[in-house]
Structure 1
Amino acid sequence: MFFRKKLIASAMILAMSTSLLTGYSKSINNSTNSTNATEMAYNGLFKEDEVMDIKIEISEDDWNDMKENAIDEEYYSANITIGDTKIENIGIRTKGFSSLQSVASSDSDRYSFRVKFDKYVDGQNLNGLNELVLNNNFQDPSYMREYLSYKALEELGVDVPETSYANIYVNGELFGFYLAVEAVDDSFVERIADSDSTDVKLYKADGENSTLVDEASLSGFELKSGEDDSMAGLKKLVSAINSIEDGNKDDIESVFDVDTFLKSIAVNTVVGNYDSYNGSKAHNYFLLEEDGVFKYIPWDFNMSFGGFSEDNGASVTVSIDEPLYNVDSSKRPLIEKLLSVDEYKEKYYGYLKELVNYFDDFETQVNDLATLIKPYVENDPTAFYTIEQFEENIVASDTDLSTVKNNMNGNKPDNGDNGENPGTPPDNTNGEPPAIPNGENPGTPPDNANGEAPAMPDGENPGTPPDNANGEAPTMPDGMEMPNKGGGMNLSGDVVSIMDYLQQRIENIKTQLS
């Protein structure tokens, strides 16, 4: 495969071979195994050049109950086999927000899932892995957006979750072709954190108020690991960000890993990942604090490469100096303040150039990946899209994305007192819902933390109108179409081609870099 692979010494492979087969029977933690051992186990689990089989055994009653009450996201007991390793009594639940609601309101059962190995058995894990996310490739006909985005981050040396494609079986029957992703949790922290760190905390940007503009924005963070009653570290980070004035970096490096953030923002800029800190929601990331220094951990890329529901290719042109979409730069101080420092901007430009070079053979990368996954896509019994839509989404066309409606060069707001713009013209000439005064998307509730398609207005379930009395299928959000009868959730095929989006966006970025 074309992707960079981590090299592990053969001696370590031999030493760990036994635990790879039996690691589920005992807890793997700092007291018994090194971070390298955990990483070795992960590399044995997540493979780049093959598709893993994940077999779930669950009682029919529990399986049906989980699907019928998917919105509740309740855990159920199940057994799971991954490769040759079987673990009993794990916890599994549905996950997501608007994607979850959208599937729940359709005739599809293709949910994303979260597997928690130690939900019912304390200390139980798989090769040191505590939790696994099974993503359903919602709103991605290519099945590649998230995978390719993480690989780009890996190319720059950013610590990201491990990923691998997987066929999911439920009670002996093929259920769907998914992307398995290492959850950002305790085992992830153990894998990437410095073994010498004594005070480690993990925060999730869980909501739309994780802007880091001021201390009020800290309400958008959820503590996932460690102990912190006062959020003193986050408050210090906000203070350090605000102390950057007139391009003077001051003491930001004493509390923040600037380099990792610049790399992450460079990737967001190149692949157009706007369901992120770069977009209107300011979510889908974690902050890992080690002894008072924070590191940015990116998360959730299924809407990259022009797949963002508010965009669909309109953001193909971007200002690399202000790589935002539908939000004023003052609302994203990490980007605005850091890029005001010449030293940091030059580093950021350097990472953009590395990515331009990395994606120089993007067509080959996509074709190689398609060779691996196409047979599985063709046989995916619950696919959201047809195989024709898959193929259309991974090839170049003659579409000029710069002509897509509401193209604002990727970042320039044009209405609203606070500088935000949902991308809908105020005169409502295109028949779509008008923007609301503060620039928020009227169908995006404030706790939309998973970065998926927004819910319907007034907090309603996006496929369950209160007066749905005529027996007809409910309306889906963001122009999505309801599933065809007898099939999976057949979303609108209008999602922009990843090839069109990246190639045209790269040309725009290269022009600015030159």
Structure 2
Amino acid sequence: MEKIIFKISILLSFMLLTTYTFIGCSNDDTVTETEEGSDDGDDTEVVIDDTDFVATDWTDATHSKDADPDFDEVFDDTAVKRIDLVISEDNWDVMLADMTELYGAFGSRGNSGFSDEDPVFVPTSVFYNGIEWYKVGVRFKGNSSLASSWRAGILKLSFKLDFDEFEDDYPQIDNQRFYGFKKLSLKNNYDDKSMLREKVAADVFKNAGLAVSHTSFYTVYVDHGDGPIYFGLYTLVEEVDDTVIETQFSDDDGNLYKPDGDAACFASGTFDEDEYVKKTNEDEADFSDVQSLLTIINDDTRTSAPTTWRANLDAVFDTDVFLKYLAVNTVIQNWDTYGRMTHNYFLYNNPGTSKLTWIPWDNNESLQTGKQGGSLSLNFSDLNEAQWPLIGYMYEDDVYKAKYDTYVQEVVDGAFNVSTIQSTYATYAALIESYATSEISGYTFLNSSSDFQSAVNTLNSHVVSRAAAVSSYLN
């Protein structure tokens, strides 16, 4: 039976032309699989073929679920590694048609709407160091960064990889892993001409002693029918709901939330289970931990009996971790997260403490003053405390403020020390410059190769200015 899918051709100018193509099942090994489409009820047809292949490159160390995550191999700070995505022409067309449905025509800057739907997964061959990973689920990822890149006519889009997404269709890849990792993100370093922010911010959080994703630099090549095309330098990011909670906590059985929406600000009266998106234990309708946090942070005992309020809050929320995170995040500056935006963080109910623990996420907009009113000041004078009570009410409390101030000093003395960070910038810039500036085309956010060094210079000036801001704040 013939299926209608969109066939999209992207010209050298990256203008999108849409035509229609009919796909037929040429043999019993080629089928189409319906994936849930966008809100208008349309579905997307993903091509499932070659179901009888043999996984000849499979080894326990490289592909098996039984292998421990190999951080040294996958997240090497001293090298820029290469990863290739080979997507069939038909499934590439499916991905582009799906993006058109979600975000409008490629290069259409006039379309400003966003989508609540994730783009479609398609089966993809992934190659690394001459080894193949089979029928890996690959999709475009991101929110505003994805929409903005697409509408700007830039095909350097972020990708999400799930190595056993299609195991029901391909039993050969049951529990397939990439050196112990099930999920990984390839971030396109949107709006970052230095391509360093995601990486360096994660390093600072890690060096401050906080749980955070590992990161590393990769060049990405995509073959969607005409041979490998260089899509540019990306930052590979470890997924929180995969190995972060598995390796950085006592176990991974707790509730993991990725809040998004009004409830994510924890203001009084905003509780909404649908906006505390569960990434683990999804079938258990128990949101009592996040509900308790919202109730306690807004409780009147905050002013009438602060010792009781702190004890109750400490019982359900790792306040020490949050205050350390807050100090790091505010010193380095990051506007695209809690305090300005109701997203870009995780909360994990750590089984070792039975407390919700803060995990930072998505740092490409960090290390700058930023947009949307800019990053918060160190004393939060620009914060609506009732709207963002986890910051506002805790900073108003003398005990919590004293801890925050201590951590602010520790950050500039240690993880975000001027000489340390400028050395880090120099090392990473030397490592990636040739890859970042080698092709100025539709797969980069640079206008010229000089943009890269100019952005690095801005980062070097920024860390100096932040040390001065901290000195002024504390004194």
Q: Which of 293, 305, 309 does residue 355 from structure 2 map onto?
A: 293
**Contact 2:271/2:294 (<8 A) preserved:** no
- Post-superposition Cα deviations, 1:16-52, rounded to whole Å, max 9, x if no partner, equal xxxx963343224xxxx7xxx43xx123310111111
Counterpart of 1:224?
Answer: 279
**Contact 2:384/2:392 (<8 A) preserved:** no
Q: Which amino acid letter does the alignment assign opposite residue 268 of structure 2?
A: D
Counterpart of 1:69?
Answer: 98
Counterpart of 2:313?
Answer: 252
The separation in 1 between residues aligned to 2:269 and 2:138, in whole angstroms, is 35
The separation in 2 between residues aligned to 1:154 and 1:162, in whole angstroms, is 8
Q: Which of 240, 243, 259 does residue 205 from structure 1 map onto?
A: 259
Cα 1:186–1:102 shift into 2, 3 Å = same
What's the offset of the Cα at 1:282?
2.5
What's the offset of the Cα at 1:151?
0.8
Aligned counterparts, 1:357-372, within 5 A? 357=413, 358-361=416-419, 362-372=421-431
- Post-superposition Cα deviations, 1:123-165, rounded to whole Å, max 9, x if no partner, equal 2211221111111111111111111111110111101011001
What's the offset of the Cα at 1:68?
4.1
What's the offset of the Cα at 1:348?
1.6
The separation in 2 between residues aligned to 1:499 and 1:181, in whole angstroms, is 24
The separation in 2 between residues aligned to 1:55 and 1:106, in whole angstroms, is 24
Q: Which amino acid letter does the alignment assign opposite residue 245 of structure 1?
A: R
**Contact 1:168/1:176 (<8 A) preserved:** yes
SS in 1 for 2:356: strand
- Post-superposition Cα deviations, 1:345-398, rounded to whole Å, max 9, x if no partner, equal 222222211221232213222112111111111114511112211111111xxx
2:76 counterpart of 1:47: yes
The separation in 2 between residues aligned to 1:96 and 1:338, in whole angstroms, is 31
Counterpart of 1:423?
Answer: none
Q: Which of 112, 129, 135 does residue 158 from structure 2 map onto?
A: 112
Q: Which of 326, 333, 336 does residue 389 from structure 2 map onto?
A: 333
Counterpart of 2:214?
Answer: 162
Counterpart of 2:9?
Answer: none
- Aligned residue pairs: how many? 377
Counterpart of 1:11?
Answer: none
Cα 1:394–1:191 shift into 2, 3 Å = same
The separation in 1 between residues aligned to 2:369 and 2:229, in whole angstroms, is 30
Q: Which amino acid letter does the alignment assign opposite residue 322 of structure 2?
A: F
2:443 counterpart of 1:502: no
Counterpart of 1:452?
Answer: none
**Contact 1:270/1:352 (<8 A) preserved:** yes
Identity of aligned residues (%): 28
The separation in 1 between residues aligned to 2:188 and 2:93, in whole angstroms, is 18
The separation in 2 between residues aligned to 1:132 and 1:153, in whole angstroms, is 19
Counterpart of 1:478?
Answer: none
**Contact 1:284/1:298 (<8 A) preserved:** yes
What's the offset of the Cα at 1:64?
3.5
What's the offset of the Cα at 1:215?
5.4
**Contact 1:21/1:85 (<8 A) preserved:** no
- Post-superposition Cα deviations, 1:91-128, rounded to whole Å, max 9, x if no partner, equal 00011122222222233211111111110124221122
Q: TM-score, normalising length from structure 1? A: 0.69
SS in 2 for 1:288: strand
SS in 2 for 1:53: strand
Cα 1:384–1:282 shift into 2, 3 Å = same
Q: Which amino acid letter does the alignment assign opposite residue 142 of structure 1?
A: S
The separation in 2 between residues aligned to 1:77 and 1:180, in whole angstroms, is 19
- Post-superposition Cα deviations, 1:474-503, rounded to whole Å, max 9, x if no partner, equal xxxxxxxxxxxxxxxxxxxxxxx3233332
**Contact 1:118/1:125 (<8 A) preserved:** yes
2:203 counterpart of 1:143: no
Q: TM-score, normalising length from structure 2? A: 0.74
Cα 1:21–1:88 shift into 2, 3 Å = same
The separation in 2 between residues aligned to 1:191 and 1:363, in whole angstroms, is 30
Aligned counterparts, 1:94-493, within 5 A? 94-121=140-167, 122-171=174-223, 172-195=228-251, 199-214=253-268, 216-219=270-273, 220-227=275-282, 228-243=284-299, 245-246=302-303, 247-248=306-307, 249-279=310-340, 281-291=341-351, 292-306=354-368, 308-311=370-373, 319-322=377-380, 327-357=383-413, 358-361=416-419, 362-380=421-439, 381=441, 382-385=443-446, 386-395=448-457
Q: Which amino acid letter does the alignment assign opposite residue 155 of structure 2?
A: D
Q: Which of 54, 64, 68 does residue 26 from structure 1 map onto?
A: 64
**Which stretches in structure 2 are left out of the alignment for 5+ residues?**
1-57, 103-117, 168-173
**Contact 1:135/1:180 (<8 A) preserved:** yes
- Post-superposition Cα deviations, 1:281-313, rounded to whole Å, max 9, x if no partner, equal 2211011013442111110111112263325xx
**Contact 1:266/1:348 (<8 A) preserved:** yes
**Contact 2:385/2:393 (<8 A) preserved:** no
**Contact 2:63/2:180 (<8 A) preserved:** no
The separation in 2 between residues aligned to 1:58 and 1:250, in whole angstroms, is 54
Q: Which amino acid letter does the alignment assign opposite residue 308 of structure 1?
A: G
- Higher RCO (C-alpha 8 Å, min separation 6): 1
What's the offset of the Cα at 1:217?
3.3
SS in 1 for 2:194: coil
Cα 1:339–1:21 shift into 2, 3 Å = farther
Counterpart of 1:471?
Answer: none
Counterpart of 1:428?
Answer: none
Q: Which has the higher strand share?
A: 2
- Post-superposition Cα deviations, 1:401-422, rounded to whole Å, max 9, x if no partner, equal xxxxxxxxxxxxxxxxxxxxxx
